[in-house]
A and B are shown apart, each in its own frame.
Chain A
Amino acid sequence: MLKDITLGQYFPGTTVAHKLDPRTKILLVVLYIVALFCAKSLVTYGLMALCLAVCVYISKVSIKALVRGLKPVLFIIIFTGILNLFFTPGDRYLVEWGFLHISDTGLRNAVFMVLRIMLLIMGTFLMTYTTSPISLTDGLERLLNGLKKLHVPVHELAMMMSIALRFIPTLIEETDKIMSAQKARGADFESGNLIQKAKALIPILVPLFISAFRRADELATAMECRCYHGGEGRTKLHVLQYQRRDYIALALGVLICAGVIVLRQFGL
């Protein structure tokens, strides 16, 4: 059933990882990504993996859930691995097999590349697992606040994002209902070739779009009735405020990132 899809993938909790300010978490992920792309030796990769492991431990997110997050990109990981493994020219070939060959640098690159992608994905997933979509949106809005001066509609974008998040479950439920109603009229979504299958979607998509527009219209009126008039002069129920733990976490993040860059200078 459509309802079973988990979106946002937030696992509520009360650990330090959950309590950190969303802005801190976004900045930490940025630092983490920078560090990952600077890492080029076993030592630095090991350091990054260790960082992730510590964060996972603190957040109490199950390893299983993190690994599950890798599934959709498994193909890309394997593909990149194979590409690097077989097609990297090197000084010394370990195996040669017609036009296929595995060089020492190839093996190295493949392992690092796969490691990098996996760490990258697990790191970002850890953030979405421990941060609710709404506070993530909030954090982004506050971080990008400076762009308002450049006439970037930061508030509007954030509002759009949070309304989209709010309506995802409603629209999924609606899709389910419309599908059942059309099935009751004998609609067949399973059989036939690709074109027939695409055509079979029309009886779902048309009512869904009409309903989405109607909802948007009614929501806009309801928002106006509740005195919504853009981001100007708006206050907040939950004001984001950096705590001591945020400063500590950010300091640690900067330190580690800087460390990786320094190590890189030393060829590690």
Chain B
Amino acid sequence: MSTMIETRELRFAYPADEGQKPVFALRGVDLEIEKGSFVVVLGHNGSGKSTLAKTFNGVLLPAGGKVYVEGMDTLDESLLLAIRQRVGMVFQNPDNQIVANVVEEDVAFAPENLGVPTEEIRRRVDDALKAVGMYEFVTHAPHLLSGGQKQRIAIAGVIAMEPDCIVLDEATAMLDPIGRQEVLSTVHRLNMEKGITVILITHHMNEAEDADRVIVMDDGKVAMDGTPREVFVQVEDLRAMGLTVPDTVDLLDRLHKDGLPVPLDALTVEACADAITAALRGN
């Protein structure tokens, strides 16, 4: 498989107050994200996860090292538009990324900017709204929709650019459980059906259960990187980084210490129940 995004010794610092040393939010990040994969980036507030996301389409530019999007260097200003068309970004607050006061006008915003012909815009808007399950709201006013629906409109607005990758920068943080579920199932479907690479930045551990790969950020560096099973069994280390593990893993970890022969990597409720049943019966 080919590489969607690659970072090399990526460093980034936010401007500091006068007389103070700049604090590095990213301190040497080397990553390669494969095309078509579903990647979840976890970390507590201030771990650098959101900063990392913003370097993926040139909203923030590296202070050291490089970010390549499909081989294009984000520091090359002439490539910026092409990079942003390839990597769409959805942000935390749904209200602050909706531009127009009619749903279809908002979804059309990016293709309009890209100079796509009118008939083609119409097709893309309709396709994008269907892909996120919001087609029936095509002429609605976005401010009257629920949080989850607004985020799906924002995702549609990004898909209308026909990107290869979507980055969701804590896009579920302000939503209620239903809205979160709506957004998650939408991006999972886009990943499966359209093969769009998804990079989901979050601090909700259970959103990582179905990911292909989990990256845990801590103190501006990659602290863990692997499949959800590989990452979640490191219960102590995750806790030390200010993250909680799913209750399933917590329970298995405790039972394991109590001497029950259970595996640690049964993440879902069903798998966990199966593992415990097997261990008890085997006794």
- Mask, A223-256, CB within 8 Å of B = 1, is 1111111000111111100000000000000000
Cβ contacts under 8 Å, A120 to chain B: none
Q: Which of B106-114, B203-211, B235-243, B264-272 contacts A (4 or more CB under 8 A)?
A: B106-114
Residue of A nearest to B106 (CB): A166
Residue of A nearest to B95 (CB): A170
Q: How many residues of B contact A (CB 8 A)?
A: 38
Is the Cβ of B161 less than 8 Å from the Cβ of A162? no
Q: Which residue of B lies closest to A163 (CB)?
A: B99
Docked complex Cα distance between A64 and B100 (Å): 30
Which of A233, A238, A239 is the one whose CB lies under 8 Å from B115?
A: A233
* Residues on A with beta carbons closer than 8 Å to the beta carbon of B100: 134, 162, 166
How distant is A159 from chain B, measured CB to nearest CB, in Å? 9
Stretch of A72-80, A107-115, A188-196, A214-222 at the chain-chain interface: A214-222
In this assembly, does B89 line the interface, its C-beta being within 8 Å of a C-beta of chain A? yes
Asked if B104 and A237 sit within 8 Å, CB to CB, the answer is yes
Task: Give CA–CA (A236, B115) in the complex, Å.
Answer: 8
- Whether the Cβ atoms of B121 and A215 lie closer than 8 Å is no
Are B81 and A218 touching (Cβ within 8 A)? no
Task: Return A13 CB to nearest CB of chain B, in Å.
Answer: 14
Whether the Cβ atoms of B102 and A219 lie closer than 8 Å is no
On whether the beta carbons of B96 and A235 are closer than 8 Å, the reply is no
Whole-angstrom distance between the Cβ of A134 and the nearest chain B Cβ: 6
A165 within 8 A of B: yes
The answer, yes or no, to whether B85 is at the interface (CB within 8 Å) is yes
CB distance from A1 to the nearest CB of B (A): 16
A69 at interface, CB cutoff 8 A? no
Q: Number of A residues whose C-beta is below 8 Å from B?
A: 29
Q: Is B118 an interface residue (CB 8 A)?
A: yes
In this assembly, does B277 line the interface, its C-beta being within 8 Å of a C-beta of chain A? no
B67 to chain A, nearest CB (A): 15
User: Are B118 and A226 interface neighbours, CB within 8 A?
Assistant: no
Interface residues of A in 151-180 (CB under 8 A from B): 162-163, 165-166, 169-170, 173
B residues less than 8 Å from A166 (CB atoms): 98-101, 143
Instruction: For residue A240, give the distance in angstroms from its CB to the closest CB of chain B.
Output: 11
A157 to chain B, nearest CB (A): 16
Which of A218, A224, A225, A235 has a CB less than 8 Å from the CB of B117? A235
Question: Nearest chain B CB to A67's CB is how many angstroms away?
Answer: 27
Instruction: Tell me whether A234 and B115 are in contact (CB under 8 A).
Output: yes
Closest to A222 in B: B97
Residues of chain B within 8 A of A223, CB atoms compared: 99, 109
Contact B91 A234 (CB under 8 A): no
Contact for A226 among B95, B113, B125, CB less than 8 A: B113
User: What CA separation (Å) do A149 and B109 show in the bound complex?
Assistant: 25
* In contact, B118 and A225 (Cβ under 8 angstroms): no
Whether the pair B143, A219 counts as a contact (CB closer than 8 A) is no
Nearest CB of B to A9, in Å = 14
Could you tell me if A235 and B121 are in contact, using CB atoms closer than 8 angstroms? yes
What residues of chain A lie closer than 8 Å to B37, measured between beta carbons? none
CB-CB under 8 A from B122, the residues of chain A are 237
Q: Which residue of A lies closest to B98 (CB)?
A: A166
Interface positions of A from 129 to 166, Cβ below 8 Å from B: 133-134, 162-163, 165-166
- CB of A236 within 8 A of CB of B112, answer yes
Q: Which of A133, A170, A228, A239 is within 8 Å of B118, CB to CB?
A: A239
Contact A235 B99 (CB under 8 A): no
The answer to whether B113 touches A234 (Cβ under 8 A) is yes
A224 to B102, CA, bound (A): 20
Would you give the shortest CB distance from B118 to chain A, in whole angstroms?
Answer: 5
Interface contact A218-B157, CB-CB below 8 Å: no
Residue B116 interfacial (CB < 8 Å): yes
Give the CA-CA distance A134 to B109 in the complex, in Å.
Answer: 14
Question: A-B pairs with the 4 shortest C-beta distances?
Answer: A222-B97, A237-B108, A218-B96, A226-B110
Footprint of A on B, CB under 8 Å?
A: 57, 59, 81, 84-85, 88-89, 91, 93, 95-102, 104-105, 108-118, 121-122, 125, 141, 143, 157-158, 161
Chain A positions within 8 Å of B, measured between CB atoms, are 133-134, 162-163, 165-166, 169-170, 173, 214-215, 218-219, 221-229, 233-239
Question: In the complex, given contacts A227-B85, A237-B111, what are 6 additional A-B residue pairs having Cβ atoms less than 8 angstroms apart?
Answer: A170-B95, A222-B89, A222-B96, A222-B99, A237-B122, A239-B118
